[in-house]
Chains A and B, each alone.
Chain A
């Protein structure tokens, strides 16, 4: 865990960054929900070459004056089998961000109630994931203006 103090002088704000293993990820979220039902801000994702990293940005204690804590839980998924369990049964509001991760990073989210595309248009091929940096990335779809014939 790394604590990053914020800049304002009056009060320190804490961001907690932690890395958890995929096998215990769902348990961590369940436990967090027992501590205080968290607000899931968003899930962000990185293609780090061999693994895909998902970072779930939760916030808790937001009702306290200057006492909110951001908990950033990161999970590494191997590219050979990028699978993670859906947390929609604990936090139904995770649906939008989970669907986004499926279509943008090609992560398979097990048990998601709705697996249709959300942002990516239907005419983009099924095996192209715009945020990937490998052969499944969007490079094939680029059209350079100088190469387009009239």
Chain B
């Protein structure tokens, strides 16, 4: 890390790199003037596991399961984007029913992820009762995931040319019951997050990302949409069954009439998206046609077909955090020649810099969390102040954050 020259009034605090077991470790170096952040530097790659390189020794079906393990929360969207790319190259026509079932999985994952995020965001500002409430709801979403796929996290549901498990008519009442449960609890969550004075004080006008910055820095997903950038792959591209469904592109002004691009808007954005996902799932259950769920149920035959395929393509899917894009090149061998994965947080790194500049140290947790990365990075902080050196761990940073909430309440 290149050390910048410091003036007498500013000092540096490094944040991260983190606990290796967590999903998106990152190293921040903040230049601090008193309480105010004046400079931000980010270093990535602490868990770069060479997944793309590992794909050189695997066939496309093995890669599906490798892709699933890129991220624990997005364990559906990576195989989804990879499958889309492969299907384009090999020109595989997916049965209509499978396209609808894929939408259900995608939206269920979004509900799980956004509700998890809502809990984390509440925790970051010291609202732990809300954390327990949201994660209770998330538990229901995970139970539903288990009911539909057999697993809670790594679902193993995607298959090239279709999907691995069908939803039979006797399963539908259970899904509808759970969707009703999410709807009932959605109102509670909306009230807590959007009407609460404390949440407003901590999140309004904090971590602002302007629309101009969001476009220039190529932000994606809820982070971009909360700044007013109308970008959603489900809306702008026809893939899976999304082209046949009614989907509106949501930005926070739907609810408040204006876009500020602050943390509060990102909360609104995700809550609205949870509601939208519930509605999409209901639409799918209504419209889903009957039929096959796999284009080619015999895996060796499918592999033989993929072995002959030649060409390159990109597959894109709107993951909970934004657009995920996979580039695949097949050259007639069993294993792909190139596989490039781009997860949404990759593009949401640079927007952190304008968001964090000018904020206070106590705002780091909530502002950084507002793009929905992994907050594991706050695990270990060392403050070097002159010759003095002391550790500021996650708990301490969390305490600072809570103190600010208390201060504002007074």
Contact = CB atoms under 8 A, between A and B. Distances in A.
Interface of A: 4, 6-13, 15, 17, 37, 39-42, 44-46, 55, 57, 61-68, 70, 72, 91-97, 116-121, 130-131, 138
Contacts of B219: 93
Given A68-B236, A93-B347, A96-B349, A62 B338 contact: no
Given A10-B244, A92-B350, A121-B45, A39 B239 contact: no
Interface string B311-337: 011101000000101010100000001
Interface in B212-249: 215-220, 230-231, 233, 235-244, 249
A42 B50 contact: no
Given A8-B239, A138-B53, 12 more contacts: A6-B239, A7-B94, A8-B243, A10-B244, A15-B314, A41-B323, A62-B231, A68-B237, A93-B219, A96-B350, A118-B43, A131-B53
B384 to A, nearest CB: 20
Interface of B: 2, 43-45, 48, 50, 52-53, 87-88, 93-94, 99, 215-220, 230-231, 233, 235-244, 249, 312-314, 316, 323, 325, 327, 329, 337-338, 340, 342, 346-347, 349-350
Nearest to A64: B236
A15 B238 CA distance: 12
A111 to B, nearest CB: 17
A66 B88 CA distance: 18
B43 A96 contact: no
Given A42-B342, A118-B43, A4 B88 contact: yes
25 contacts: A4-B313, A6-B88, A6-B238, A6-B239, A8-B242, A8-B243, A10-B238, A10-B244, A13-B238, A13-B239, A39-B218, A41-B218, A42-B327, A44-B340, A45-B338, A63-B230, A65-B236, A68-B233, A68-B237, A70-B314, A93-B347, A95-B350, A118-B45, A120-B48, A130-B50
A13 B237 contact: yes
Main secondary structure of the interface of A (DSSP, over half): loop
A8 B236 contact: no
A66 B239 CA distance: 9
Nearest to A100: B346
- Nearest first, the 7 closest Cβ-Cβ pairs linking A and B are A93-B218, A119-B45, A68-B236, A44-B340, A42-B342, A10-B243, A8-B238
A11 B243 contact: yes
A66 B237 contact: yes
Nearest to A46: B338
Contact of B313 (A15, A65, A94, A95): A15
A57 B88 CA distance: 16
B238 A62 contact: no
A42 B231 contact: no
B329 A46 contact: yes
B88 A39 contact: no
A7 B237 CA distance: 11
A41 B342 contact: yes
B243 A93 contact: no
Nearest to B236: A68
Nearest to B313: A4
A119 B44 contact: yes
Contacts of B346: 42, 96-97
B325 A39 contact: no
B215 A39 contact: yes
B235 A7 contact: no
Contacts of A64: 236
Contacts of B94: 7
Residue among A37, A57, A120 with the highest chain B CB neighbour number at 10 A: A57
A65 to B, nearest CB: 6
B256 to A, nearest CB: 20
Contacts of B337: 46
A124 to B, nearest CB: 10
B236 A62 contact: yes
Nearest to A118: B44
Given A42-B342, A62-B231, A8 B327 contact: no
A119 B346 CA distance: 11
A66 B238 contact: yes
B239 to A, nearest CB: 6
Contacts of A62: 230-231, 236
B244 A8 contact: yes
A72 to B, nearest CB: 7
Contact of A7 (B87, B230, B327, B338): B87
A121 to B, nearest CB: 7
